Amino acid sequence: MGATLDSITPELQAFIAAQHLFFVATAPIDVADHVNLSPKGMALFQVLSPTRFAYLDLTGSGNETAAHVTQNGRITVMFCAFESKPLILRLYGKGRVALPGTAEWNELSPHFPTQPGARQIIIVDITRVQTSCGFGVPVMRFAEDRDTLLRWAESKTEDGLRAYREQKNRTSIDGIPAPL
């Protein structure tokens, strides 16, 4: 039913490429604080090697992932098969943040489509790959990506996005600093 691996196989990379949605989970060091779980879409995930992946993170209502991985590096990404053969894939690892203008951003940003509101790239070195059956996940059909977040970011100037991030993305909900 399930397997534990050290890296992403070519079959799992093909599975990832076919998914429209993934989930990102992080947590602060203090377990009394909030665990974060965020859905992500819009084909912003890239497998960089069998043991490394990255995703383009867009400006949003919070910045929990960046705060948590900057604090402790822990991150898990999960994919679920909704349309095809049942499968759940979890990628565990140590993450870090690349901000626009840094050498790592300049190296990795060509892997992603240009998007309004792009705020950072989350890079993860994989420590564990785990599959499970996914038999309990419902079958659902993909209709389309939403463009609401992109339209919102397009309606802002660069100064407007910077001001929004300063106000809404500077710290996590638990007050943990986030890189901007």
In the block, residue with structure tokens 């059956």: 133
* Residue range 9-64, pLDDT digits in tens: 999 999 999 999 999 999 999 877 899 999 999 889 999 999 999 999 999 999 99
Distances (CA, A) of 115 to 44, 66, 131, 153: 9, 18, 31, 9
Going by C-alpha positions, the residue among 130, 125, 139, 152 that lies closest to residue 86 is 139
Q: For the chain, what percent of residues have pLDDT higher than 70?
A: 99
Over the chain, what is the mean pLDDT? Answer: 96
Please state the pTM of the whole predicted model.
0.95
Domains and CATH numbers, the chain: 3-168 (2.30.110.10)
